[in-house]
Structure 1
Amino acid sequence: MEWQQLEYFRVVAGTEHFTQAAERLAISQPALSRSITHLEETLGVPLFDRVGRSVKLNAYGASFLKRVERALQEIQDGMAELQQLRDPYTGTVSLSFVMTFGLSFLPDFISSFNRLYPQVKLQLFQNTTAAIARQLQDGEADLSIVGSLDHRNQLEWHKLLDEDLFAYVPAKHRLADRESIRLEELAGEPFIGFKKGYGMRDLTDRFCAQAGFAPQVVFEGEDVATVSVLVSSGIGVTLIPSFRGITPSKIKKLRVEEPACRREIGLAWQKGRTLSPAAELFRSFIIGQFA
């Protein structure tokens, strides 16, 4: 069995037509047919049901295709790794991050990294904390910038910094002329919060519980921009990290004196997984920014 036979099989399985597959592979149709026949003889089972000039993947073929696609992807990944080993300053790094972090200093870090290593491409994903953990475990992301995780048995997590959270209220709110408040002073206020599954929602619920109340969430958002716009419109208050672009005439940021409202931000990756040289490069760069 040869690697080329597997690639031919995958293309025929995708088109279910020998002529179209042969054109896509730039080989003759008889040569393609012989290759598939030899593959079936090696395996001892037919992979396709022949229907006139067309073919249809049968149960054997469908089962084998899953393994072939996985094997060919491994080969492709291996070739990419070898290329990066030859030149570690090339390749692609997939990075996922919590949505509230993406609006703060991540853009500055990415810009600095791109200036130093212009040949390394960054593939970015914004997601919830729960989804980020799954991406790391499934290998969809090399690294993630996220709050502390509960999956320490499967993931490594390196703390980068502590980030303060602030109460944001409409500019005409009864507390808007203050510089700081106790969180309990927002008890009974309508809250603009994040959807369940987001790390910021868990933090809001936890800090409000410490202050002796449960937030009355009237709207659940997915990003800081939406939450802040709704607060500035007078719908409610919120508890979020500091963000750029605030309009003092519409929204006011208040420091929380009690309880101490802050979150940990760290860099996470899959435990035991060998990162590509490019991903190792980015990991060292990010950690170095907070050393």
Structure 2
Amino acid sequence: MEWQQLAYFRKVAQVQHFTRAAEALYISQPALSRSIARLEKKLGVPLFERNGRNVRLNRYGQMFLTKVEEALLLIEEGKQEIHDMIQPNRGQISLSFLHTLGSHLVPELIGEYRKTFPDVTFQLFQNTADILIEQLTTGDVDLCLTSKPVERVGFSWEELFSEQLYIIVPKSHRLAEKGAIELAEIAEDPFIGFKEGVGLRTITDQLCQKAGFTPNLTFEGQEVSTVNGLVSAGLGVSLIPDRKGLDETEVSKLKVLDLECTRSIGVAWVEDRYKPQVVEQFQTFIVHFFKSYQVINSLHR
């Protein structure tokens, strides 16, 4: 059963005449008759009472027309939704990102974008790096913002910016007034880290390994704000990126002297997968936005 057959059936039901229906559909009358005959054969029942070229729906046809009207309406709605989704000034974008980007970076990014494109809508997903890539693989999202190059065949990853990681300690900590320390100086301290699968967990473990120790994990979180709060409460130390809006009244932020403590954030996508124009446009906007973000950050350092 084909969509075209259903549209032909509806037109014949509306005008109750094969010749006039064929003219309205811009096809020959014999072609229309054959199409309706194939549909009736497929269904196993006649749909019309015929009187020459004039026809009227029988009880099977009346029931079927109700369903066909509903189906064709849904198809038209679907076509319109697809049309809207691929329009550069409308449509919908599905974006996933790391938990640590959700406090202000992603809201700022989307806020700036919608100043120019207010009719574009977003589906947003926060998750760990592994799950972000899985969502991208399955096609659940168009783009994802993640902290490590995506080393999979068919995937691309473009760096957007690099951010400094700082040691944070409670104000009462023995190192709080130093301003900068070597990472190994906190080797014996209770360490508040991030859960397995969170990009910062992998980076932290690697940095501590380079410094010659394994962090003494006492708490694990997903959000930078949560980790910062636990440090503020005097429950340990941590290594986090600088974040706007974090409460620093009870913590001291220390630079790392002996290691390059940074992480790169980039945008990832599947190379050969179709991207609607609205997604292409947003991806270009992301790159320009974070170039400006880097410039502004460098001016304030």
TM category (shorter chain) comes to 0.7 to 0.9
Q: Is the 8 A contact 1:146 1:265 kept in 2?
A: yes
Q: Is the 8 A contact 2:85 2:92 kept in 1?
A: no
SS at match of 2:204: helix
Partner of 1:174: 174
Q: Is the 8 A contact 1:137 1:154 kept in 2?
A: no
Residues 186-223 of structure 1 show CA distances to partners (whole Å, capped at 9, x for unaligned) of 11111111111111100000000011101011111111
Residues 34-84 of structure 1 show CA distances to partners (whole Å, capped at 9, x for unaligned) of xxx98786xxxxxxxxxxxxxxxxxxxxxxxxxxxxxxx999876534344
Tell me by how many angstroms 1:110 deviates. Answer: 1.2
Question: Residues 19-168 of structure 1 correspond to what in structure 2 (within 5 A)?
Answer: 79-85=80-86, 87-168=87-168
TM-score (normalised: structure 1): 0.72
> Percent of aligned positions with the same letter in both sequences?
40
Partner of 1:45: none
Q: Distance in 2 between matches of 1:119 and 1:197?
A: 34
One-letter code aligned to 2:214: A
One-letter code aligned to 1:170: P
Q: Distance in 2 between matches of 1:266 and 1:238?
A: 23
Tell me by how many angstroms 1:88 deviates. Answer: 2.0
One-letter code aligned to 1:194: F
Provide closer, same or farther for how the CA distance between residues 39 and 282 of structure 1 changes in structure 2, counting only shifts above 3 A. Answer: farther
One-letter code aligned to 1:192: I
Q: Distance in 2 between matches of 1:230 and 1:74?
A: 53
Provide closer, same or farther for how the CA distance between residues 163 and 39 of structure 1 changes in structure 2, counting only shifts above 3 A. Answer: farther
RMSD: 2.7
Tell me by how many angstroms 1:178 deviates. Answer: 1.5
Provide closer, same or farther for how the CA distance between residues 169 and 84 of structure 1 changes in structure 2, counting only shifts above 3 A. Answer: same
Tell me by how many angstroms 1:249 deviates. Answer: 3.3
The question of 1:246 aligning with 2:246 is answered: yes
Q: Is the 8 A contact 2:145 2:265 kept in 1?
A: yes
After the TM superposition, which segments of 4 or more aligned residues of structure 1 sit over 4 Å from their partners? 3-6, 37-41, 73-79
Structure 1 gaps of 5+ residues are 7-36, 42-72
Q: Is the 8 A contact 1:160 1:290 kept in 2?
A: yes
Number of positions where the alignment pairs a residue of Structure 1 with one of Structure 2: 230
One-letter code aligned to 1:241: P
Tell me by how many angstroms 1:263 deviates. Answer: 0.5
Larger Rg: 2
Q: Distance in 2 between matches of 1:208 and 1:5?
A: 67
Partner of 1:23: none
Q: Distance in 2 between matches of 1:118 and 1:222?
A: 31
One-letter code aligned to 1:258: D
Q: Is the 8 A contact 1:171 1:248 kept in 2?
A: no
Q: Distance in 2 between matches of 1:92 and 1:83?
A: 8
TM-score (normalised: structure 2): 0.70
